[in-house]
Amino acid sequence: MAEMRGIDAAISELDRARRIAVVAHKGPDGDAIGSSLALALMLRSLGKEVRHYARLEDIGAPRVMDGLDSLSRPEAAATDPAPDLLVCLDCATVERILVPYFRDNFAKFRSLVIDHHESNPRYGDVNFVVDDASSTGELVWMIAKRAGWKMDRMVAEALWVAIVTDTGRFSYGATHPSTLECGADLLRRGVRHEYLNDQIFSKEALNTALLRARAYSTLETWFDGAVAVIRLDAGDYEEFGCRKADSEEFVNIPRSVRGVKLAIFFYRSASEEKCTHLSIRACGGVDACAFASLFGGGGHRAASGATIDCGVDEAIARVRATLENFLSTT
Ligand code: 5GP
Ligand code: MN
């Protein structure tokens, strides 16, 4: 894995700060919520005053983790006492930060960025960003090991959830020997891996399964099978009483089609949303991050996302038009 530049600076920032705000990215996935929860729990046991901002209802399957009972509502950030340090985890850019108040007033706070997105411009005062790390969870584990912090079972489980969700259970390319060593260390700390994996990867509510069936029914391929797409609009989510978090893994539906180089899931999850989100996965030589950046998004080579300022039909038309050129030049 790439160098560990920034880890000691990150530890000394965390040591020095007394009041700390911990925040991950909008629409938090397992890595975002797991890495931020683990860090918040450890900092609290070091005696720091910690606020971990997220909404429980925005969290999908990783909600099974213990320790999510002390979240702060994002809207409270504007009136909470100002933190000495704002820690942003798994956020590739300032715009991705989950709390609007911190996005809008970012420059007013001393900031530490812990992330593994290659598109991250190192926007913090201190940055511990490792491009090819498996997950932000693994980076938090490295910090804790190096700093000698205690990791109890609850912390270890939050890190486990972060790592297994971002690596597809230790299967994606960014799974390094260090990732498996981290996994082994977490298991030794008592992680209930069978329970957590089963809850996160093998179980879903009936309405989510029905929404999944709807998503399957929209599956199509473009450009002789090079691209596979699915789509869900606000009406689909409303019909089944589902939220965005319920469809976090649906991009695996088009991704699973043999021969596909690029899989895209288009979604707009509530009628008040004026924009369409894209969840993008690349196989083989295609760069999903480069493609997402054509629409102002970003992420990793293999997994990225973007938000387009229009409805689903128009977003699909725009993406399809752009893809023709993109595929012929890659
Ligand atoms: P997902 O498809 O799972 O939502 O996101 C895949 C990856 O792309 C994640 O690493 C996520 O942080 C990143 N990502 C998703 N949406 C956006 C976006 O709108 N902008 C940027 N910069 N990154 C995104
Ligand atoms: Mn991540």
Ligand 1 atom at shortest distance from the alpha carbon of 289 = 8
Which ligand is closest in space to the CA of residue 162? Answer: 2
CA of 273 to the centre of ligand 2 (A): 24
Ligand 1 touching residue 54 (CB < 6 A): no
CA 117 to ligand 1 center in whole angstroms:
9
What is the tens place of the pLDDT at every residue in 122-162?
Answer: 999 999 999 999 999 999 999 999 999 999 999 999 999 99
Summarised one tens digit per residue, pLDDT across range 162-194 is 999 999 999 999 999 999 999 999 999 999 999
Note the pLDDT of residue 3: 52
Average pLDDT of the chain is 96
Within 13 Å and on the Cβ side, how many CA atoms surround 328?
7
Q: Is residue 116 in contact with ligand 1, taking CB distance under 6 Å? A: no
Task: Answer whether 305 contacts ligand 1 (Cβ < 6 A).
Answer: yes
Give me the domains of the chain, ranges plus CATH numbers: 7-200 (3.90.1640.10), 206-328 (3.10.310.30)
- Using CA atoms of 85, 91, 97, 102 in order, give the dihedral in degrees to the nearest 10: 20
Confidence label for 2 from pLDDT (cuts 50, 70 and 90)? very low
pTM recorded for the entire structure: 0.94
What's the CA gap between 117 and 91, in Å, rounded? 8
DSSP state of 82: P
User: pLDDT above 70 covers what percent of the chain?
Assistant: 99
pLDDT 10s digits, 265-279: 999 999 999 999 999
* Ligand 1 neighbour 298 (Cβ under 6 A): yes
Contact 246, 232 (CB under 8 A): no
Cα separation, 140 vs 128, in Å, equals 10
